[in-house]
Chains A and B, each alone.
Chain A
Amino acid sequence: QSALTQPASVSGSPGQSITIGCSGTDRDVGGHDFVSWYQHHPGKAPKLLIFDVTQRPSGVSGRFSGSKSGSTASLTISGLQAEDEADYYCASYRSSANYVFGTGTRVTVL
């Protein structure tokens, strides 16, 4: 059950924008709009940031936005802040009622 592909790390300076990609196939990311993104500080509960590719839950900062093109989804963090330093995971529904996560991206604020 292969994971979705994300870059291992992305970094940026405070105030900058960064984008994290999430590459899948037409069995998952490319086959529907059920892509979500999670922020994870190690040892804590993961936090939902984006669902259904572009939707943001109430309470999540507008600095986080999602998009998709073909089989690649993306998460953009605008106005990068020190508190954004964490691990980020994409996830997608895959056929046969299974779910798959991305390999994870460590975001570093320089």
Chain B
Amino acid sequence: EVHLVESGGGLVQPGRSLTLSCAASGFTFDDYAMHWVRQAPGKGLEWVSGITWNSGSRDYAESVKGRFTISRDTAKNSLYLQMNNLRVEDTALYYCARLQLLADYFDHWGQGTLVTVSS
């Protein structure tokens, strides 16, 4: 069974950094592209970033480009999101999601980890 478990969220001041992790199990992690999606309080889902199976391509939403970096560690079956220069508007529940092979939809999601940016 596919499991995605996010961690690393917390309360952080504006301008500071935080790194989120997503531990994957139940499937061959190396085969799949992985993504981060967030939901701000009272708002809808927003795609944040994605990385291909071999880290050959990394993409970002305009709202986080230049501040966030996505990466993965195949040895640890883990996905990461390094978030720098955090802003109040980055406050959200961050989900990791698996992109189905040779497709453009997210077939499995984690439960999310909450990031709160506040002074």
Q: Which A residues have a C-beta under 8 Å from some C-beta of B?
A: 1, 3, 34, 36, 38, 40, 44-48, 51-52, 57, 87, 89, 91-93, 96-104
Contacts and interface: CB of A to CB of B under 8 A. Distances in A.
Interface in B29-44: 35, 37, 44
Closest A-B pairs by Cβ, 6 of them? A104-B44, A36-B105, A34-B104, A93-B104, A51-B105, A45-B109
B1 interface: no
A47 B47 CA distance: 15
B45 A89 contact: yes
Given A48-B105, A101-B44, 5 more contacts: A45-B110, A46-B109, A51-B105, A97-B57, A98-B47
Interface stretch (B7-15, B59-67, B68-76, B77-85): B59-67
B89 interface: no
A99 B108 CA distance: 16
7 contacts: A1-B61, A34-B105, A45-B95, A45-B109, A48-B107, A48-B108, A51-B103
Contacts of B106: 36, 38, 46, 48, 91
Most A Cβ at <10 Å: residue of B35, B45, B95, B109 = B45
Given A1-B62, A46-B95, A101 B107 contact: no
Contacts of B110: 45
A101 B104 contact: no
Contacts of A104: 44-45
Given A1-B62, A45-B111, A98-B61, A103 B105 contact: no
B113 to A, nearest CB: 12
B96 to A, nearest CB: 10
